[in-house]
Homo-oligomer: A and B are copies of this chain.
Amino acid sequence: MKIAIAGAGALGSRFGYMLHQAGNEVILIDNWVDHIQAIREHGLKMTIDAETFTAEIPIITPQEITSDQTVDLVIVFTKAMQLDQMIQDIKPIMNDDTDILCLLNGIGHEDIIAKYIDAKNIFIGNTMWTASLVGPGHSKSFGSGSINLQNLGEGQEIEAKKIAACLSEAGLNARFTDNVHATIYLKACVNGTMNGLCTILDVDMATFGETNQAHEIVTTIVKEFAAVAAHENIELNVDDAVAFIEKCYDRQTIGDHYPSMHQDLIRNHRMTEIDYINGAISRKGQKYGVATPYCDFLTQLIHVKENIVLK
């Protein structure tokens, strides 16, 4: 398959590397000059668990796309706030048959993609794979992961399964589901609690979880997600979601970690994706007439912190 990775950061690089190793024709698309230069000069370096590999994979900016480069599949791995621009920029690499797969964290990305791409070509999902950047041209990751994905357009189940098969052949452990929105909402609940709360409170997940108020705060936020989801005919069981989130407190696994939003904002002074997590719930809540005050307030507090930190 000819596959473009639109947004070849930490996780995009990991996906690109694995799909390339499995024999696909992969092209990376990114805007970060140092990263592009490093990959062009030294290849893409990929550290998986303890071993480091190198692969020669072409990388271009969206502006460098030529009309003879159309691909079968685009996988988008931008930051949420870059998605809209990226979809517009990579149009030349897509033809009427090019599928696009979005595995970004957060809610409502399909609405952005659908502004530019026919629904029959849109596939959405989420992934438990993780990765981080060592530096330009070098991504690293630990452990394993999985992918759930589904077609957005009607009758495209077979195409969705074909994409899942291609990913699984590359070791990415993908599966087709007919209920991907529930898994997207479930993952958004994790991000919609741990990310914002640990960022505002400046703590790791376990330390937050060990406070007397954690359970009630998390439950209140999840109830807002569930109330919005219900308006989209997505059933989100509050107790199950809360129990799933509370696994993050385990110091034996990931409890000692600060969530990615804390790393983005507090450590690296970057904008957060809050508008695509709690902020998305606030917007949808307004649309459906559902009160979402905890999501509203948490979104505002993170934006205040952005205002201060990025000043």
Interface residues in chain A, defined as those with a beta carbon under 8 Å from any beta carbon in chain B: 200-203, 207-208, 210-214, 216-217, 220, 291, 293-294, 296-298, 300-301, 303-305, 307-308
* Dominant SS among interface residues on chain A: helix
Ordered by A's residue number, 27 sampled pairs between the chains whose C-beta atoms are within 8 Å are A200-B200, A200-B201, A201-B301, A201-B304, A201-B305, A207-B308, A208-B308, A210-B307, A211-B304, A211-B308, A212-B303, A212-B304, A212-B307, A213-B301, A213-B303, A214-B304, A216-B300, A217-B300, A217-B301, A220-B296, A220-B297, A291-B291, A291-B293, A293-B293, A293-B294, A294-B297, A297-B298
Min CB gap A292→B, angstroms: 9
9 extra A-B contacts, CB within 8 A, seeds A203-B308, A212-B304: A201-B304, A202-B202, A208-B308, A211-B303, A211-B308, A213-B301, A217-B304, A293-B294, A297-B298
Task: Decide: A208 and B304 in contact? CB cutoff 8 A.
Answer: yes
Give A304 to B298 CA distance when docked, in angstroms: 15
- Give every chain B residue within 8 A of A296 (Cβ-Cβ): 220
Min CB gap A282→B, angstroms: 12
Chain B residue at minimum C-beta to C-beta distance from A200: B200
Min CB gap A246→B, angstroms: 15
| Interface core residue of A207, A220, A296, A297 (most chain B CB under 10 Å) | A297
Give A214 to B308 CA distance when docked, in angstroms: 12
Chain B residue at minimum C-beta to C-beta distance from A293: B293
Min CB gap A64→B, angstroms: 36
- Give every chain B residue within 8 A of A293 (Cβ-Cβ): 291, 293-294, 297
Task: Decide: A200 and B300 in contact? CB cutoff 8 A.
Answer: no
Give A214 to B211 CA distance when docked, in angstroms: 27
- Give every chain B residue within 8 A of A203 (Cβ-Cβ): 308
